[in-house]
């Protein structure tokens, strides 16, 4: 032991005690998915507090010279028999009774029990020092090492700190209407049972208004079930705010909803309010599930095999390389599904997995914060097969009710924390839109691939938009970069209209047995809706110098190697409430888009003059020129957009109240000429998918404006990133100045202004492009691949739920001509892939 003590004494200066703010990675290896539960355990560097699996700790020692590591191993405790065990082997064992996480009665996020063993290991010989050994060592050694060990074990790991450990979805506030609620003396008395909706005779999901005692049905759900909205309509007609759900009233309380506050609330005077209509709370019994119970049931179903469209069939679990499951970290199924598909694409495999060892060798001192290292770690984890092994048997052998497909899999905690850092949505544990995450990740890849291969090029393509002025018949051509084709869903083309109408009629009549009928939409109708000309009613034509009607046609200027198609299932209802279209679309296995190839300007076709529309001004506003980079005292050709446009503030405010970004609202009002809320709303809805939708309003001909930034303050790093994508420095400068030096917005802006950039004669610094680039021709713009427009389907992502902000995602991927379903940790051979119910479809080019 003397030798070990001497070694510890010699490395004592490298052993630290964690301080507040130190990042302690004691749950996951920085370079692999090894953990304390893995074979060999986890080695914690006692200086940097980074964790390493047994296969990487020697590498870290060789690179850094660090010798002291805390070795943590955990072994699963044997579980006691539980009467409430479902037989599935999955938590929660105890049925939740509260819509909460980490609270008694709620969902238990950490039911596994482990025995933990820790000791200090000295490299390179891996000499071990236990707590008992420390007791025999000098005080200075014992004290420092013991404090470090205790500090590491007591510290919250980074992954633990990033998770929501306690959340209570049942905390309700007292309604502001409860204390002084006015109740009508109309003599109405409500019986204790036998209720019906007074409008449609529905006998379930009934709510009694606490002001007038009206018994009416609740809201209609996205799938047509639930009620017929009569209670909501009654509130909209009367303004009576509170309603209680009949069937939930017990001596302990009831479900009370405030339409005015748009939330479930508490009513401290509920006994008094019920008694007004002859209801005695103390004698009532619960006959319907409360809203909390309904939500708990949904949350329990979300992670279960039965909700997947292939329920009812016994699916064969699959294991091996490329068949690795991913643990759900709490609403992370959107991330799991997208990354499973991306690492099926050869470009991502070759960039991050083929050179995995090289990437690890070149990783910075803190690999947890390096994008390339963490993406490579995830890709290797998915494709190597090292983690594609059956999950340990929890000991429940009472007959599982669901197919056994669970794996050890990988938990992408570091990856999720890194790609979500700083993002208002992806940094949270809330459910997200898989399409938005896909674009967010592609954007990160673009920024991090300044040199070498860029796998995002596999999806990048050019779109040509042709606008024809119907009065002059002159045309304008623009090009923009895109990564996803958004396919509209023309509901009026449903092939089962009669069935839909019959089902709707039966629901309106209160027939609770009415079947849920899904609209059948031909894929050809979706493609026709995409390719047919769009009518623009407020197009400002430079040929006639006035607003007129025009047609806009969209075509492919290039075809990518891999094509992503999004079915636009999520839309807004007449009340501007988001809803999901419940449709079935016969998406084909093969696709030929050759007919949608752009043709460019046709012989004899005249182009619209390049003249900017006039600025919006009121007659009494004098427009003064401002001195810009091209201006002088006598030059009034440039005007200040801060002075010239007079926007209708009330219209802008109305749009903002609907949840749209301020800059988008300003642009909507500007481009519709202050003609009112309807025109501005139509503009907003038709431009929501524009890359620069929320970018600042930059007026034609202006050299500065809201959101512009002087050249001297631009980030050289941001400039280098955009230049590496194939643009000139002047073009990058213009994009950054137009977007307040925000890189993400600048990339979106530059891709949506390709025509303007390619025609730049004078750079922002006053020099010609040729001068600024040393006489060379400016780069042609972003690099795109091109080839035949023939494709085959190889993957699709499906969504279950009422909106992208809730529900569950799974993906199906074609592996060696066999469809495989990836449902978080479950990976199985697919028997009936639901190709008609997908949300995102992934095609690859078919070689001629």
- CA-CA distances (angstroms) from residue 421 to 22, 241, 433, 747? 17, 40, 17, 19
Which residues are registered as beta bridge partners of 250? 253
Residue 730 tokens, joined: 């002047």
Give pairs for 228-233: CB < 8 Å, separation 24+: 228/197, 228/199, 228/200, 228/202, 228/507, 228/508, 228/510, 230/197, 230/198, 230/199, 230/200, 231/207, 232/259
Residue 230 known to bind ligand: yes
Residue 221 known to bind ligand: yes
Residue 468's φ and ψ, nearest 5 degrees, are -115, 120
Q: Are strands 263-265 and 485-487 parallel, antiparallel or unpaired?
A: unpaired
Residue 819 known to bind ligand: no
DSSP code per residue over 252-294: TB--EEETTTTEEEB-TTHHHHHHTTT--GGG----S--HHHH
Using the structure block, give the residue that is written with the tokens 């748009």: 262
Secondary structure (3-state) at 33: coil
What whole-number distance in Å separates Cα of residue 178 and Cα of residue 275? 14
Residue 526 known to bind ligand: no
Cβ 507 vs Cβ 633: under 8 Å: no
Kindly state the helix (H) or strand (E) to which residue 119 belongs, with its residue range.
strand 114-122
Listed residue (819, 82, 89, 825) closest to 402, CA to CA: 89
Q: 808 catalytic, yes or no?
A: yes
Secondary structure (3-state) at 10: helix
Q: 799 catalytic, yes or no?
A: no
Q: Are strands 562-567 and 485-487 parallel, antiparallel or unpaired?
A: parallel
Which residues are registered as beta bridge partners of 128? 121
What whole-number distance in Å separates Cα of residue 450 and Cα of residue 455? 12
Residue 197 known to bind ligand: yes
Residue 337 tokens, joined: 């599904």
Residue 219 known to bind ligand: yes
Q: What is the 3-state secondary structure (H, E, C) of 302-360?
A: HCCHHHCCCCCCCCCECCCCCCCCECCCCCCHHHHHHHHHHCCCHHHHHHHCCCHHHHH
Residue 259 known to bind ligand: yes
829 contact partners, CB below 8 Å, separation of at least 6? 315, 316, 318, 818, 819, 820, 821
Secondary structure (3-state) at 490: coil
DSSP code per residue over 526-595: HHHHHHSPEEEEEEEETTTTEEEEEEEEEEESS--SEEEEEE--EEE-TTS-EEE--EEE---SEEE-GG
Residue 61 known to bind ligand: no
Residue 217 known to bind ligand: yes
Cis peptide before 92 (omega within 30 of 0): yes
Cβ count within 10 A of residue 532: 13
Q: Which of the residues 808, 811, 812, 828 is marked catalytic?
A: 808
Q: Which of the residues 29, 45, 333, 526 is marked catalytic?
A: 333
Cβ 628 vs Cβ 704: under 8 Å: yes
DSSP code per residue over 120-165: EEETTTTEEE-HHHHTTS-HHHHHHHHHHHHHHHHSPPHHHHHS--
Cβ 103 vs Cβ 157: under 8 Å: no
User: Of all residues in the chain, what percent are helix, strand and coil, respectively (each to 5)?
Assistant: 30, 20, 50
With b meaning 16 or more CB within 10 Å and e meaning fewer, what string describes 290-301?
bbbbebbebeee
Residue 694's φ and ψ, nearest 5 degrees, are -105, 10
Residue 257 known to bind ligand: yes
Cβ 798 vs Cβ 834: under 8 Å: yes
Secondary structure (3-state) at 376: helix
Kindly state the helix (H) or strand (E) to which residue 114 belongs, with its residue range.
strand 114-122
| Distance of alpha carbon 199 from the chain centroid | 40
Using the structure block, give the residue that is written with the tokens 């038709």: 686
Q: Which residues are annotated as a binding site for Zn(2+)?
A: 197, 200, 217, 230
Q: Which residues are annotated as a binding site?
A: 197, 200, 207, 217, 219-222, 230, 257, 259, 262
Which residues are annotated as catalytic?
A: 333, 808
Q: Which residues are annotated as a binding site for substrate?
A: 207, 219-222, 257, 259, 262
């Amino acid at each position: 032991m003397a030798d070990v003590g001497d070694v510890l004494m010699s490395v004592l200066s490298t052993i630290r005690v964690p301080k507040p703010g130190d990042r302690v990675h004691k749950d996951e290896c920085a370079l692999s998915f090894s953990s304390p539960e893995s074979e060999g355990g986890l080695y914690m560097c006692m200086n940097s507090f980074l964790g390493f699996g047994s296969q990487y700790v020697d590498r870290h020692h060789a690179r850094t010279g660090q010798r002291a590591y805390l070795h943590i191993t955990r072994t699963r405790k044997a579980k006691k028999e539980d009467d409430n065990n479902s037989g599935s082997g999955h938590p929660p064992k105890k049925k939740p009774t509260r819509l909460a996480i980490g609270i008694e009665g709620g969902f238990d996020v950490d039911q596994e029990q482990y025995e933990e063993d820790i000791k200090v290991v000295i490299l390179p010989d891996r000499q071990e020092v236990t707590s008992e050994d420390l007791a025999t060592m000098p005080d200075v050694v014992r004290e420092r090492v013991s404090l470090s060990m205790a500090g590491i074990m007591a510290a919250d790991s980074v992954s633990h700190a990033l998770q929501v450990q306690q959340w209570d979805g049942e905390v309700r506030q007292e309604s502001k209407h409860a204390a002084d609620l006015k109740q009508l003396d109309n003599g109405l008395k409500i019986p204790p049972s036998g209720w019906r909706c007074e409008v449609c005779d529905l006998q379930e999901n009934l709510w009694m208004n606490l002001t007038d005692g009206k018994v009416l049905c609740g809201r209609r759900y996205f799938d047509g079930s639930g009620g017929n909205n009569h209670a909501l309509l009654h509130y909209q007609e009367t303004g009576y705010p509170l309603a209680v759900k009949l069937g939930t009233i017990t001596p302990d309380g009831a479900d009370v909803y405030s339409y005015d506050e748009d939330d479930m609330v508490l009513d401290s005077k509920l006994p008094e309010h019920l008694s007004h209509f002859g209801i005695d709370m103390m004698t009532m019994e619960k006959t319907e599930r409360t809203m909390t119970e309904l939500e708990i049931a949904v949350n329990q179903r979300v992670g279960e095999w039965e909700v997947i469209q292939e329920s009812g069939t016994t699916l064969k679990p699959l294991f091996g390389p490329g068949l690795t499951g991913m643990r759900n970290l709490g609403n992370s199924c959107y991330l799991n599904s997208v990354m499973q598909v991306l690492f099926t694409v050869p470009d991502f495999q070759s960039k991050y997995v083929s050179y995995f060892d090289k990437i690890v060798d070149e990783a910075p001192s803190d690999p947890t914060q390096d994008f390339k290292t963490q993406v490579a770690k995830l890709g290797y984890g998915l494709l190597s097969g090292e983690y594609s092994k059956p999950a340990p048997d929890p000991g429940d052998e009472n007959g599982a009710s669901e197919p056994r497909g669970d794996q050890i899999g990988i938990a992408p905690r570091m990856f999720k924390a890194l790609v979500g850092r700083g993002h208002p949505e992806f940094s949270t544990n809330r459910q997200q839109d898989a399409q938005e995450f896909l674009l967010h990740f592609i954007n990160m890849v673009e920024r991090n691939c300044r040199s070498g291969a860029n796998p995002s090029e596999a999806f990048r393509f050019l779109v040509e938009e042709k606008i024809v002025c119907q009065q002059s018949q002159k045309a304008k051509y623009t090009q923009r970069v895109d990564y996803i084709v958004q396919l509209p869903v023309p509901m009026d083309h449903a092939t089962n209209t009669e069935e839909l109408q019959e089902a709707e009629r039966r629901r309106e009549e209160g027939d609770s047995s009415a079947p849920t009928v899904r609209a059948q939409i031909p894929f050809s109708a979706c493609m026709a809706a995409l390719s047919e000309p769009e009518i623009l009613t407020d197009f400002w034509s430079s040929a006639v110098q006035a607003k007129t009607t025009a047609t806009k046609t969209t075509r492919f200027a290039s075809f990518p190697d891999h094509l992503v198609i999004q079915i636009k299932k999520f839309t807004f209802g007449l009340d501007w409430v988001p809803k999901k279209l419940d449709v079935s679309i016969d998406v084909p296995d093969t696709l030929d888009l050759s007919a949608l190839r752009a043709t460019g300007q046709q012989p004899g076709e005249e182009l619209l003059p390049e003249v900017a529309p006039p600025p919006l001004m009121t007659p009494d506003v004098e427009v003064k020129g401002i001195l810009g980079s091209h201006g002088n005292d006598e030059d009034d050709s440039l005007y200040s957009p801060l002075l010239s446009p007079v926007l209708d503030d009330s219209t802008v405010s109305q749009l903002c109240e609907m949840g749209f970004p301020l800059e988008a609202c300003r642009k909507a009002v500007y481009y519709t000429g202050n003609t009112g809320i309807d025109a501005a709303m139509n503009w907003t809805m038709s431009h929501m998918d524009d890359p620069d939708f929320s970018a600042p309003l930059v007026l034609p001909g202006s050299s500065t404006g809201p959101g512009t930034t002087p050249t001297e303050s631009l980030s050289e790093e941001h400039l280098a990133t955009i230049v590496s994508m194939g643009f000139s420095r002047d073009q990058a400068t213009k994009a950054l100045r137009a977007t307040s030096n925000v890189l993400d917005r600048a990339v979106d802006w530059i891709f949506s202004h390709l025509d303007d950039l390619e025609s730049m004669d004078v750079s922002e610094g006053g020099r010609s492009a040729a001068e600024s680039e040393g006489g060379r021709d400016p780069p042609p713009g972003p690099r795109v691949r091109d080839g035949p427009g023939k494709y085959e389907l190889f993957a699709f992502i499906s969504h279950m739920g009422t909106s992208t902000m809730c529900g569950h995602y799974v993906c199906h991927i074609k592996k060696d001509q066999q469809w495989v379903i990836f449902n978080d940790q479950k990976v199985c051979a697919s028997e009936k892939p639901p190709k008609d119910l997908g949300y995102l479809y992934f095609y690859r080019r078919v070689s001629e």
